[in-house]
Amino acid sequence: MRYLHRFGAKCIAVGESDGSIWNPDGIDPKELEDFKLQHGSILGFPKAKPYEGSILEADCDILIPAASEKQLTKSNAPRVKAKIVSVQESLERKFGKHGGTIPIVPTAEFQDRISGASEKDIVHSGLAYTMERSARQIMRTAMKYNLGLDLRTAAYVNAIEKVFKVYNEAGVTFT
């Protein structure tokens, strides 16, 4: 969420096992993270209201069901209103019948810290760099093979090309 937020995306809802919150004007991920660390829950966050109902069915552009496994099922898939959904491969066909899906590949820029970096900051900056570099490679592959927004296939092609390159350099490929 923080990576998408850095690039201008607006988070309007967050769901956890103990409840969900909603603010159509946006929720700052850093403020929410600080609140949760201090209070142990997202519930009661002063800049959002409790959300009644299934947050998975909220009207939004991007849905990232990352809190726990198996949140999206065959029974609730038709009610998901998000235009883009990050789903496991086994659900891709089901969502494909309801407007299509693409996996979310968040990107982020490396962010220098004014003061000394904590271990968490170092891990996050390394992850941000790796995610951005990987996302750029996948997007280049998608454009090269005219895959449109099918980033999952582009990622597979990208991985296969890397394996082929290593095998080719080792002299064990067939051409």
pLDDT band, very low/low/confident/very high, at 111 (cuts 50, 70, 90):
very low
DSSP 69-116: TT-S-TTTGGG---SEE---HHHHHHHHTTT--------------SSP
- Condensed to tens digits (0 to 9), the pLDDT of residues 20-43 reads 999 999 999 999 999 999 999 999
User: Over pLDDT 70: what percentage of the chain?
Assistant: 74
Helix ranges restricted to H, the chain: 2-6, 29-39, 89-96, 119-144, 151-170
Residue 119 has a pLDDT of 63
3-class DSSP state of 128: helix
Q: Mean pLDDT lowest for which of 26-30, 53-57, 91-95, 156-160?
A: 91-95
Question: pLDDT: is 79 or 84 the higher one?
Answer: 79
Q: Which two tokens stand for residue 115?
A: 């003061």
**pLDDT value of residue 96:** 56
Of 66-80, 119-133, 154-168, give the range with the top mean pLDDT.
154-168
pTM for the complete prediction? 0.52
pLDDT given for residue 172 in this prediction: 79
Taking residues 96-107, report their average pLDDT: 41
